[in-house]
A and B are shown apart, each in its own frame.
Chain A
């Protein structure tokens, strides 16, 4: 199977966060970025499915120069090739604009002649994304890609079981998480887009050998023009949503903050829980 994985780099929210000068986002200078958590699980799931079926994984990411580090990491754990969607025009896009660009990139990769110089491209059998980005949190990119490709999709996937048939699998049994501890199990025809929930597997670490091999693997760089997209269709210009400002929530808005060293604070808290809140 030929499997595409779309990954995103997000700020490490454990780091010290400062707002940017215009107040619309974080100051990205010195801000550490990591691969979005659920995307790591999507990558691992894709690698496992490719290994099981003798296929390959191609990884995609849209963003500035820094996302090459994320792509390199994906190559180090076993992706065959990577595509970097790099264009200033892509910046500031919402999930609909970003999904449009990624869908166009998937179509282009699938249409490109094989490395051996074969006549036509090899279509993807499956596209995996994380269920949700840890920054914007739309949970939409995979479904939007699926809409453009006309493929079925499932969001918040907790299990993927390929159904064997003659030749490559044409369907999969997919478990989707619902609220209140219930899962939906459904049969989905392939090709499809599956949006993977964190926790579905245990992502592997890169081996030293893998890291060395990754240096030789190809990272293609594509712009909006390469994808046949106008600048007005992607990025901030192609988005309906505009961020006016971001702010830290008022810390402890209603909370009484209890100060002091551990022993003092603990005693003060217990006193309040007994006397004021009356819960002890």
Chain B
């Protein structure tokens, strides 16, 4: 029998975010992969779980996708996100339904509450995945896999039962994307999975087959359990967004590799030659070399210019999600194994203090 796959999409201002749709796409693929292993049934279609207040429109939008059900926790107590309220709804729901997987978008909100949800429900936690390989066709293979440490039988909730889920191999970045790790989940019981932005394209969400819209049903909310554990006082804009990098046609972005605020001159000259805006990765901002309004990445701006030149940026995943939609990416880095080269179109390995001035000269020469 297939395992149930849930997805908890995230809303912003009452609407589904792109990250939410990507999580739906991931859950659909996961459910299909697990359903294939056994008889078609509960496991073959994912189910969505929505939390918030005033969710009718969003629930209907989701019902039009290839999902078995949309469980809607719609309650005034959920008008504002807090970990306490979210866990107070999800923990009892997971305990009652025991889904095999609960899929989340890997957002700051998810990282805020999912680890504690795992701790409270005894679920496994598998954050920031970028992909998975379906189980091998022979179901016995998973159980026979060797190499499990001697203590594996004592894993929490582990009962040694081979399931399709046990055969899945997941990939996730470690060491800021310098390494790709392949991991497996041991033991039985729910696993909370969050999917890295851009890994499961949102346009891959399958619509509901004709006449098979998802069932929309209410998920009970007990306000005694769904209690905020922080008193949200308000939200504030970090910087008056004076520099709108999202509209820039060309961006020259610098990373820690530039070495200091006093070494930015040649980079600024290159930007002038290209008619570019200057951007930066987070370490440059945290070091105070450039103002925060120039930060590109998950906690800064998300950009997609025609040309993006990354100088001295190693390419931590938090940076890559903010710029990998650029049309043409040039990476300059002294480390040939820097992850930035995995998203670049053109790569130059070497000292940026030599390469950047050379590039400025070549651009000027070409432009006459």
On A, residues with C-beta under 8 Å from B are: 11, 13, 17, 26, 94-96, 99, 132, 134-141, 143-144, 146-148, 152-156, 173-188, 198-199, 231-233, 236-258, 262-263, 265-267, 269-274, 277, 279-280
Which residues does chain A contribute within 8 Å of B301, judged by CB atoms?
181
In the complex, the answer to whether A241 meets B119 with C-beta atoms within 8 Å is no
In the complex, 6 of the A-B residue pairs with CB atoms within 8 angstroms, ordered by the A residue number, are A99-B119, A140-B111, A181-B299, A182-B236, A184-B235, A243-B181
Q: In the bound complex, what is the Cα–Cα distance between A237 and B149 (angstroms)?
A: 8
Partner of A269 from the list B285, B330, B349 (CB cut-off 8 Å) is B330
Which residues does chain A contribute within 8 Å of B346, judged by CB atoms?
255-258, 269, 272-273, 277
In the complex, the answer to whether B286 meets A199 with C-beta atoms within 8 Å is yes
- Closest B residue to A235 using CB positions: B151
In the complex, the answer to whether B339 meets A249 with C-beta atoms within 8 Å is yes
Partner of A277 from the list B108, B120, B328 (CB cut-off 8 Å) is B328
**Which stretch (B56-64, B134-142, B210-218, B353-361) binds chain A?**
B353-361
Q: Which of B160-202 contact A (CB under 8 A)?
A: 169, 173-187, 189, 191
**Is B41 an interface position by the 8 A CB rule?**
no
In the complex, the answer to whether B233 meets A187 with C-beta atoms within 8 Å is yes
8 closest residue pairs by CB, A with B: A237-B151, A240-B124, A140-B115, A199-B286, A232-B154, A147-B119, A266-B358, A262-B358
Q: Is the contact region of chain A dominated by helix, strand, or loop, or is it mixed?
A: mixed
Which residues does chain A contribute within 8 Å of B53, judged by CB atoms?
none
In the complex, the answer to whether A269 meets B237 with C-beta atoms within 8 Å is no
Q: In the bound complex, what is the Cα–Cα distance between A116 and B310 (angstroms)?
A: 57
In the complex, the answer to whether A248 meets B337 with C-beta atoms within 8 Å is yes
Q: How many A-B residue pairs have CB under 8 A?
A: 287
Q: In the bound complex, what is the Cα–Cα distance between A155 and B148 (angstroms)?
A: 33
In the complex, the answer to whether B328 meets A270 with C-beta atoms within 8 Å is no
Which residues does chain A contribute within 8 Å of B233, judged by CB atoms?
173, 185-187
- Closest A residue to B197 using CB positions: A179
Q: In the bound complex, what is the Cα–Cα distance between A263 and B362 (angstroms)?
A: 8
Which residues does chain B contribute within 8 Å of A263, judged by CB atoms?
358, 361-362
In the complex, the answer to whether B152 meets A237 with C-beta atoms within 8 Å is yes
- Closest A residue to B367 using CB positions: A280
Q: In the bound complex, what is the Cα–Cα distance between A181 and B237 (angstroms)?
A: 6
- Closest B residue to A254 using CB positions: B345
**Which stretch (B30-38, B70-78, B93-101, B224-232) binds chain A?**
B224-232
In the complex, the answer to whether A255 meets B344 with C-beta atoms within 8 Å is yes
Q: Which of B329-368 contact A (CB under 8 A)?
A: 330-331, 336-339, 341-351, 354-355, 357-359, 361-363, 365-367
In the complex, the answer to whether A186 meets B230 with C-beta atoms within 8 Å is yes
In the complex, the answer to whether B181 meets A246 with C-beta atoms within 8 Å is yes
Known contacts: A94-B125, A135-B174, A272-B346. The answer to whether A279 contacts B306 by CB under 8 A is yes
**Is B234 an interface position by the 8 A CB rule?**
yes
Partner of B230 from the list A147, A188, A231, A269 (CB cut-off 8 Å) is A188
In the complex, the answer to whether B345 meets A257 with C-beta atoms within 8 Å is no
**Is B88 an interface position by the 8 A CB rule?**
no
In the complex, the answer to whether A273 meets B307 with C-beta atoms within 8 Å is yes
In the complex, the answer to whether A135 meets B175 with C-beta atoms within 8 Å is yes
Partner of A240 from the list B187, B298, B342, B367 (CB cut-off 8 Å) is B187
Q: Which of B49-94 contact A (CB under 8 A)?
A: 82-84
- Closest A residue to B342 using CB positions: A249
In the complex, the answer to whether B175 meets A179 with C-beta atoms within 8 Å is no
In the complex, the answer to whether A256 meets B347 with C-beta atoms within 8 Å is yes
